[in-house]
Amino acid sequence: MTLWLGDGNSRLPGYATHQLGVAGAVLDNSTGKVLVVQDKNKTINAWKFPGGLSDPGEDIGDTAVREVFEETGIKSEFKSILSIRQQHRHPGAFGKSDMYIICRLEPSSFNISFCQQECLRCEWMDLDELAKTKDATPITSSVAKLLLYGYREGFDKIDITMKEFSAVYTGQVYKLYHRELPESYKDMGGL
């Protein structure tokens, strides 16, 4: 119809090509334990990080915090992005490609009250154990090893952090995610 109404060359943008899933790797730095769930609906008996789909207009960190709370009852704070996975022809993506982002979160509560409609189990698991277990999804296993490296050697080696900037559009802001710069580069060019 847009071609018929116009000059034959539609200028309307294409439909969205990806859905965005976000999970939270909630690590208690004082104990070395990480929050994991066993999903009731998909990967039964495989440990994974709690998460779900981002709502329209919702920031990545906010999605991770919300999904962790909805699934586990744990309150947390966004710290960084740990990983990004892109997958095409994902069977649960409604014909779209799928982006899946895992964020590092810090807990502000510790008593689990998990959603029994979504989860079979939920627990604080030792990070070493999660990194070694065969009972985790492949992405959970990989990110657990990355998280263990950051826990032992410093999160500055793994974190993709966020900074908020004023956009060129009046009253708008945007969030830029990147590895942290050394101090000698931060004052160069406005960063």
What distance in Å separates the CA atoms of residue 135 and residue 43, rounded to the nearest whole number?
Answer: 10
CB 150 within 8 A of CB 71: no
- Which among 58, 70, 106, 129 is annotated as catalytic? 70
Distance CA 58, CA 164 (A): 15
Contacting residues for 113 by C-beta, under 8 A, at least 6 apart: 72, 73
Who's near 186: CB < 8 A, 6+ residues apart? none
Neighbours of 142 (CB within 10 A): 16
Cα–Cα separations (whole angstroms), residue 83 to 2, 15, 98, 100:
39, 25, 14, 8
* 70 is known as an active-site residue: yes
**Pick from 59, 63, 60, 74: nearest CA to 28:** 74
Closest by CA position to 26, among listed 38, 18, 16, 35: 35
Q: Which residues are catalytic?
A: 70
